[in-house]
Amino acid sequence: MLSNAAQYAIRSILYLALYSSATQRIRTKKISQDLEVPQPFLAKLLQRLGGADLVSSSKGPNGGFYLNKTNRNKTVWDIIVTVDGTEKFNQCFLGLHTCSDNNPCPVHFNVSPFKQIIKKDFKGKTIAQFSEEIKKRGTVLSLKDFDALHK
Amino acid sequence: MLSNAAQYAIRSILYLALYSSATQRIRTKKISQDLEVPQPFLAKLLQRLGGADLVSSSKGPNGGFYLNKTNRNKTVWDIIVTVDGTEKFNQCFLGLHTCSDNNPCPVHFNVSPFKQIIKKDFKGKTIAQFSEEIKKRGTVLSLKDFDALHK
DNA sequence: CAATTTTAAGACCAAATAGTCTTTAATAGG
DNA sequence: CCTATTAAAGACTATTTGGTCTTAAAATTG
Ligand code: FES
Ligand code: FES
């Protein structure tokens, strides 16, 4: 449903929402370590996200990535659209080239409602709202600590 | 969530459930045309499915693929396991290497219930039952006719 | 203004998946 | 039993996605 790149992008942006600010920028190295994502790949990805105004950055000493006001008002759906485009997400579960209630495949009515709900959620909540929820509910962006504890 | 191959496999097997029998075998050429799937790719795939006892076949004139009793009592889940393995299906939506209620990612509780439902459906219903449902509800395995009508 | 740190940009490489082709073996029918 | 027809088997190629590396440019600091 989502490419690796899109997954990395979502997790990185939520990470930045939680831990960065205009004065507290974060280097790709730190992000990649904390999220267990390959660093050069992440760098290229964040660069793309910067172009789409989903993240902000500054170069030089104390430079790094962060989210400004505009960035925080984007949605998870915006990230998906930028990285993967909409097609992959809207596709039929069994690969028919259009997914619709008119010509439904045998699993359409099992799968489609679920996709609608998720999509609505991704479109409706801002990154800022998402990060509030994360703080409140204690969900995680990485299993690094968990892994460290159990090895 | 599913590879191309798995999607082709599911559609092909449901197709065979609907239209084939031990005496009415169907050639890969016909299947590939009706489902709009590349023929050599499908041939290789059906061969694999034959090895896993999900389809039956016979060579020579009037040969082709069909489903026997055993084949018809398999489930869609069996197909997925054979073609893709379980990992891809069970993975975390945001790419964490394990998906569980203990260390949930921020979208876990939105996504996970749905996957459980779909999975249960795929495990619980046999191919035979699925094909009955298709007949009853008029769902489709291909948009070929639809396409032909609209071009 | 020079040195250093960090992202930007884009060329490059690797792995997985998707898809094709060619040769062999089995079966049915004349 | 010979021929035509079909799947089986497996080597091969192409495309996409994932991932790396190198060089340039911007910003900070002394
Ligand atoms: S038509 Fe297959 S999921 Fe909608
Ligand atoms: S932990 Fe991410 S979907 Fe379950």
In chain B, what are the domains? 4-149 (1.10.10.10)
Instruction: Output the pTM of the full model.
Output: 0.91
- From start to end of chain B, where are the E strands? 56-58, 64-66
Region B16-42 average pLDDT: 94
pLDDT in tens, B34-51: 999 999 999 999 999 999
* pLDDT on residue A24: 92
Task: Show the ligand 2 pocket: residues with CB < 6 angstroms.
Answer: B 92-94, 96, 99, 104-105, 107-108, 111-112
Beta bridge partner(s), residue A65: A26, A57
In the reported structure, the alpha carbon of residue B11 is separated from the centroid of ligand 2 by a whole-number distance in angstroms of 28
Q: How far apart are CA B148 and CA B151, in angstroms?
A: 6
Contact present, A53 and A70 (Cβ < 8 Å): yes
Q: Which of A84, A66, A88, A73 is nearest to A130 (CA)?
A: A73
pLDDT in tens, A19-55: 999 989 999 999 999 999 999 999 999 999 999 999 9
Q: How far apart are CA B91 and CA A59, in angstroms?
A: 36
Q: Which of B86, B81, B93 is nearest to B54 (CA)?
A: B81
Q: How far apart are CA B118 and CA A149, in angstroms?
A: 33
Quote the mean pLDDT of chain A. Answer: 91
Beta bridge partner(s), residue B82: none
Q: How far apart are CA A111 and CA A120, in angstroms?
A: 15
Interface size A-B, in CB pairs within 8 Å, comes to: 88
Region A104-124 average pLDDT: 92
Q: How far apart are CA B126 and CA A33, in angstroms?
A: 45
DSSP assignments along A38-74, one per residue: -HHHHHHHHHHHHHTTSSEEE-STT-EEE--HHHHT-
Q: Tell me, yes or no, if B117 comes closer than 8 A to chain A by beta carbon.
A: yes
* pLDDT on residue A145: 66
Residue A2 Cα distances to A6, A75, B26, B80, B95, angstroms: 6, 15, 35, 18, 9
Q: Does residue B146 surpass a pLDDT of 90?
A: no
The structure tokens listed for A119 are 């999509």
The structure tokens listed for B110 are 């939105």
Region B85-92 average pLDDT: 91
Contact present, B14 and B141 (Cβ < 8 Å): yes
Q: Does residue A16 surpass a pLDDT of 90?
A: yes
* Residue B59 identity: K
Question: Between chains, do A104 and B139 touch, taking CB under 8 Å as contact?
Answer: yes
Region B6-11 average pLDDT: 96
Rounded to a whole number of angstroms, the distance between the first and last alpha carbons of chain A is 31
Region A67-84 average pLDDT: 95
The structure tokens listed for B117 are 């439902």
Confidence class for position B147, pLDDT limits 50, 70, 90? low
B91 Cβ contact partners less than 8 Å away, ≥ 6 residues apart: B99
- From start to end of chain A, where are the E strands? 56-58, 64-66
User: Which residues of chain B does A104 touch, with a Cβ-Cβ cutoff of 8 Å?
Assistant: 139-140
Region A106-133 average pLDDT: 93
Q: Does residue B104 surpass a pLDDT of 80?
A: yes
Nucleotide nearest to A61 (CA to C1'): C5
User: Which residues of chain A does B141 touch, with a Cβ-Cβ cutoff of 8 Å?
Assistant: 94, 105-106
User: Which residues of chain B does A105 touch, with a Cβ-Cβ cutoff of 8 Å?
Assistant: 11, 139-141
Q: Tell me, yes or no, if B3 comes closer than 8 A to chain A by beta carbon.
A: no
A127 Cβ contact partners less than 8 Å away, ≥ 6 residues apart: A13, A14, A17, A67, A71, A72, A73, A74, A75, A76
Q: Does residue A140 surpass a pLDDT of 60?
A: yes
A105 Cβ contact partners less than 8 Å away, ≥ 6 residues apart: A92, A93, A94, A96, A99, B11, B139, B140, B141
Confidence class for position A151, pLDDT limits 50, 70, 90? very low
Residue of A nearest to B134 (CA): A106
Atom of ligand 2 nearest to the CA of B94: 2
C-alpha angle A125/A131/A135, rounded to 5°?
130
Q: Tell me, yes or no, if B80 comes closer than 8 A to chain A by beta carbon.
A: no
Q: Tell me, yes or no, if B121 comes closer than 8 A to chain A by beta carbon.
A: yes
